Amino acid sequence: MSSEQTPDQDADATGPPSGSTAGSDAGDGGGEDEFHAFWADAVADEVEERDPNEPIVIKGGVSPSGIPHLGHFNEILRGHFVGEVLRERGHEVRQVFTSDDRDPLRKLPRRLADADWNVVELGDVDAGALGKNLGKPYTAIPDPFGDCHDSYGEHFADLLAGAAELVDVPVEVLSNTELYQSGEFEPEIRTILENVDTAREVLSEYQDSVDAGYSPFRVVCEECGIVTTDVTVADLEEGTVAYECTGITAGDREIEGCGHSGEATLRDGKLSWRFEWPAQWSLLGVDFEPFGKDHAEGSWPSGEDIARNVLDIQPPVPMTYEWFTLNGEPLSSSAGNVVTVPEVLELLEPEVLRYFFALDPNKARDFDISRLDQLVDDFDRFERAYFGEVDDEELTRFAERAYPFVVAGRRPAASGTESRPVEEVKEDRVRLPYTFASVLGMVEDRDLRVQMARNEGHIPEDAGEDVIEDALARVERARAWAERCDNAYNYRLQTDLPEVDLDEAERTALDDLADFVAAGNDGEAIQGRIYELAEEHGLETGDLFAAGYKLFFDKTQGPRLGEFMGELDRSFVVERLRREG
Ligand SMILES: [Zn+2]
Ligand SMILES: [Zn+2]
């Protein structure tokens, strides 16, 4: 459950915070505390202790507002890793993700993503038309992008499923609306309505405003289409309810009802969130569900209670994960602080993203785009640890267990690409350090990139073409990162000599520098020499650097120039400093 789910809650939770967490110290329930280097093993132990039926069902879910973003992958990927561990242990596993799309739209999102993942502001779509749909289920709202999907809800769910494929997770996205419309939810709804007094009593321990008139079932008004709460049972045998369209509260404002009174079937409405979640567990036979901290203190305790005491089922094994922040700020659809999976995959290999979610779920982390170089460095170290190349026992234990799950995705055949089993990740692979790949991103010429990487010893002389090709793939991503962050690597080496206007002192200083480079000095020495030459020729240091930047980047500023020249082909640098080509 992602936190976007919360809008459908009726009121704040008043129940006690749950102590139920499963993480690296899970397994307490069984009395056997086997040490696991990978948290997913500990969770899998707990799931096995339930003695589950096959297939084991792992669930997640979200209410489809705004943009499907990286935050949703907390539970998609964490559920996936637990699923993979269980599959390895010989179980059949079904991973589902519900699009809780009969939830009413309560607030217009600030940003949306079109079918090609272009993120647009609300003002770029017909916000007026969208605004007329407040209070209606997402699947009853027209697609804001025209006719690419049948509804707002379907548009969102389709994007989310596509993003899951990009990180090699074969997740089955289920539409809540379909579960209601098809009648599949009816047994759960009946059980809750048959035991409505118990249902109210249980819920009242967690939520204020649950009185004798409270209905766990809401109806989509046949006149105006909003999800209305004023519902009474008419004939449970027949499966009908009576309702009056009196409007709903959405956050701090009221959505007015049309006043219509009518009858509806159990397929024409939805359970309130507090009941819908445990009803999903019952209907789908959920064995395991990860969710964010907000739910641990909110709808999990009531859901667990409702599962046991109203629906008479065993609730799934829970796992609370810590939220990660994005660039130091909380993830927020409404504030627009989100990043999508396709955006991230322009900057990182899918396995690096999978690695991020393979880390301990109990630890709060920041996904800092400006410091993605650190995340990639950590992944590279984790990978080296798997191959026994790092002297760190704890990391090596974690990597030995988790790395195969991180690199070997189960990309569905439909995606047209193949995932790579761990056996195919060769020990002779070359991972260019991300910041070095960013330096290579400053030059466009492939041969020059290879040569620079060889000069620095990153590509061994005997490396095969496929190894080189794999290694260079990171350069494009590092280049995209430099451009996105407009950081110290966001420069382009000019292949042709730019037009430069130099005075006599600058020309002789550059000639001297060319001689110094030609003599075989390294980058650090070249950097130092630029300062000396500025002084020797009576130039401002900044002016001499600016002349160099003009020559190499056609800009007046750039990266550490001496070091950069040290990475390049020597004869190219000498020629360029002499303004010969
Ligand atoms: Zn669409
Ligand atoms: Zn109405």
CATH number of 570's domain: 1.10.10.350
Mean pLDDT of all residues in 443-472: 90
Q: Is residue 340 part of a domain?
A: yes
In angstroms, what CA-CA distances link 310 with 147, 183, 214?
42, 20, 16
At residue 420, the pLDDT reads 54
CATH number of 118's domain: 3.40.50
User: What is the rounded distance in angstroms from the CA atom of residue 287 to the CA atom of residue 297?
Assistant: 20
At residue 14, the pLDDT reads 32
Mean pLDDT of all residues in 180-193: 97
At residue 297, the pLDDT reads 85
Mean pLDDT of all residues in 413-436: 68
In angstroms, what CA-CA distances link 386 with 40, 330, 372?
17, 32, 21
Amino acid at 296: A
Query: In this predicted model, what pLDDT tens digit does every residue of 89-112 receive, in sequence order?
Result: 999 999 999 999 999 999 888 899
Cβ atoms of 284 and 59 closer than 8 Å:
yes
Q: How deeply is 491 buried, as exposed, middle or buried, from its count of CB atoms within 10 A (0-12, 13-18, 19+)? A: buried
Mean pLDDT of all residues in 258-269: 96
* Helix spans in 323-464 (H): 341-345, 350-358, 372-386, 393-407, 434-440, 446-455
At residue 423, the pLDDT reads 64
Distance 171 CA to ligand 2 centre (A): 36
At residue 413, the pLDDT reads 39
pLDDT tier at 24, thresholds 50, 70, 90: very low
Q: Which of 209, 197, 184, 204 is nearest to 276 (CA)?
A: 184
Does residue 74 share a domain with residue 174?
Answer: yes
Does residue 2 share a domain with residue 139?
Answer: yes
pLDDT tier at 23, thresholds 50, 70, 90: very low
User: What is the rounded distance in angstroms from the CA atom of residue 417 to the CA atom of residue 398?
Assistant: 28
Q: Is residue 151 part of a domain?
A: yes
Average confidence score pLDDT of the chain: 89
- Judged against a pLDDT cut of 90, whether residue 205 lies above it is answered with yes
Place of tokens 């008139």: 213
pLDDT tier at 3, thresholds 50, 70, 90: very low
Does residue 230 share a domain with residue 258?
Answer: yes
Q: Is residue 229 part of a domain?
A: yes
Q: Is residue 390 part of a domain?
A: yes
Distance 255 CA to ligand 2 centre (A): 10
- Judged against a pLDDT cut of 70, whether residue 419 lies above it is answered with no
CB atoms within 10 A of CB 457: 8
Distance 229 CA to ligand 2 centre (A): 11
Q: For residue 229, which ligand has an atom nearest its CA?
A: 2
At residue 531, the pLDDT reads 97
Domain boundary among 389, 416, 443: 416
Mean pLDDT of all residues in 10-38: 48
- Judged against a pLDDT cut of 50, whether residue 15 lies above it is answered with no
Cβ atoms of 482 and 558 closer than 8 Å:
no
Here the tokens at position 533 are 């030459």
Query: In this predicted model, what pLDDT tens digit does every residue of 462-502 receive, in sequence order?
Result: 999 989 999 999 999 999 999 999 998 999 999 899 999 99
Cβ atoms of 371 and 481 closer than 8 Å:
no
User: What is the rounded distance in angstroms from the CA atom of residue 268 to the CA atom of residue 536?
Assistant: 85
Percent share of the chain, pLDDT over 90:
75
Distance 149 CA to ligand 2 centre (A): 25
Distance 148 CA to ligand 1 centre (A): 4
Give the alpha-carbon dihedral of 410, 413, 417, 421, to 10 degrees. Answer: 30
Distance 430 CA to ligand 2 centre (A): 63
pLDDT tier at 352, thresholds 50, 70, 90: very high
User: What is the rounded distance in angstroms from the CA atom of residue 303 to the CA atom of residue 69?
Assistant: 25
**Overall domain count for the chain:** 4
pLDDT tier at 360, thresholds 50, 70, 90: very high
Distance 367 CA to ligand 1 centre (A): 28
Q: Please report how the helices 523-536 and 504-518 are oriented relative to each other, as an axis angle in degrees rounded to 10.
A: 150
Distance 411 CA to ligand 1 centre (A): 23
Place of tokens 């620095």: 456
DSSP string, 35-103: --SSHHHHHHHHHHHT-PPSSEEEEEEE---S---GGGHHHHHHHHHHHHHHHHTT--EEEEEEE-TTS
User: What is the rounded distance in angstroms from the CA atom of residue 521 to the CA atom of residue 515?
Assistant: 10
At residue 336, the pLDDT reads 80
Does residue 403 share a domain with residue 338?
Answer: yes
Q: For residue 227, which ligand has an atom nearest its CA?
A: 2
Query: In this predicted model, what pLDDT tens digit does every residue of 109-133 receive, in sequence order?
Result: 889 999 999 999 988 998 888 999 9
Helix (H) or strand (E) holding 227: strand 227-228
Q: Which of 242, 266, 276, 267 is nearest to 103 (CA)?
A: 276
Q: For residue 218, which ligand has an atom nearest its CA?
A: 2
Here the tokens at position 360 are 């301990």
Distance 111 CA to ligand 1 centre (A): 14
What lies within 8 Å, CB to CB, of 123 at 6+ separation is: none
Question: Cα 131 vs. chain centroid, distance in angstroms?
Answer: 28
Place of tokens 């007094």: 197
Ligand 1 is a single-atom ion; what residues have CB below 5 A from it?
Answer: 115, 143, 145, 148-149, 155
Q: Is residue 298 part of a domain?
A: no
At residue 414, the pLDDT reads 38
Does residue 514 share a domain with residue 382?
Answer: no
Query: In this predicted model, what pLDDT tens digit does every residue of 206-255 receive, in sequence order?
Result: 998 899 999 999 999 999 999 998 999 889 999 999 999 998 887 777 88
581 secondary structure, DSSP code: -
At residue 417, the pLDDT reads 43
Mean pLDDT of all residues in 169-190: 96
Range of the domain at 524: 504-577
What lies within 8 Å, CB to CB, of 305 at 6+ separation is: 202, 205, 206
Distance 258 CA to ligand 2 centre (A): 4
In angstroms and rounded to an integer, the radius of gyration of the C-alpha atoms of the chain is 29
User: What is the rounded distance in angstroms from the CA atom of residue 396 to the CA atom of residue 414?
Assistant: 35
What lies within 8 Å, CB to CB, of 66 at 6+ separation is: 4, 109, 110, 111, 112, 333, 334, 338
Higher pLDDT, 74 or 23: 74
Mean pLDDT of all residues in 572-581: 94
Angle (nearest 5°) at CA 143 between 141 and 149: 120
Strand partners, 95: 58
pLDDT tier at 335, thresholds 50, 70, 90: confident
Does residue 477 share a domain with residue 511?
Answer: no
Q: For residue 141, which ligand has an atom nearest its CA?
A: 1
- Judged against a pLDDT cut of 70, whether residue 410 lies above it is answered with no
User: What is the rounded distance in angstroms from the CA atom of residue 519 to the CA atom of residue 556?
Assistant: 27
At residue 30, the pLDDT reads 43
Distance 179 CA to ligand 2 centre (A): 23
Question: Cα 452 vs. chain centroid, distance in angstroms?
Answer: 34
At residue 409, the pLDDT reads 61
pLDDT tier at 408, thresholds 50, 70, 90: confident
pTM beyond 0.95: no
Does residue 3 share a domain with residue 140?
Answer: yes
Higher pLDDT, 67 or 408: 67
At residue 507, the pLDDT reads 96
Higher pLDDT, 445 or 423: 445
At residue 249, the pLDDT reads 83
Distance 261 CA to ligand 2 centre (A): 8
Question: Cα 430 vs. chain centroid, distance in angstroms?
Answer: 26
Q: For residue 259, which ligand has an atom nearest its CA?
A: 2
SS3 288: strand
Distance 86 CA to ligand 1 centre (A): 35
Distance 243 CA to ligand 2 centre (A): 10
Does residue 384 share a domain with residue 471?
Answer: no
Distance 263 CA to ligand 2 centre (A): 12
Here the tokens at position 136 are 């209606």
Cβ atoms of 65 and 333 closer than 8 Å:
yes
Residue 361 φ/ψ region, left for φ over 0, alpha for ψ in the -120 to 50 degree band, beta for the rest: alpha
What lies within 8 Å, CB to CB, of 504 at 6+ separation is: none
Q: For residue 149, which ligand has an atom nearest its CA?
A: 1
Distance 107 CA to ligand 2 centre (A): 18
Q: Is residue 293 part of a domain?
A: no
pLDDT tier at 34, thresholds 50, 70, 90: confident
Q: Is residue 301 part of a domain?
A: no
Distance 230 CA to ligand 2 centre (A): 11
Does residue 222 share a domain with residue 156?
Answer: no
Does residue 538 share a domain with residue 457?
Answer: no
Mean pLDDT of all residues in 374-384: 97
Q: Is residue 197 part of a domain?
A: no
DSSP string, 329-370: EE-BTTTTB---HHHHHTTS-HHHHHHHHHS-TTS-EEE-GG
Does residue 344 share a domain with residue 468?
Answer: no
221 secondary structure, DSSP code: -
- Judged against a pLDDT cut of 90, whether residue 428 lies above it is answered with no
At residue 332, the pLDDT reads 84
Here the tokens at position 434 are 């991300």
Does residue 224 share a domain with residue 124?
Answer: no
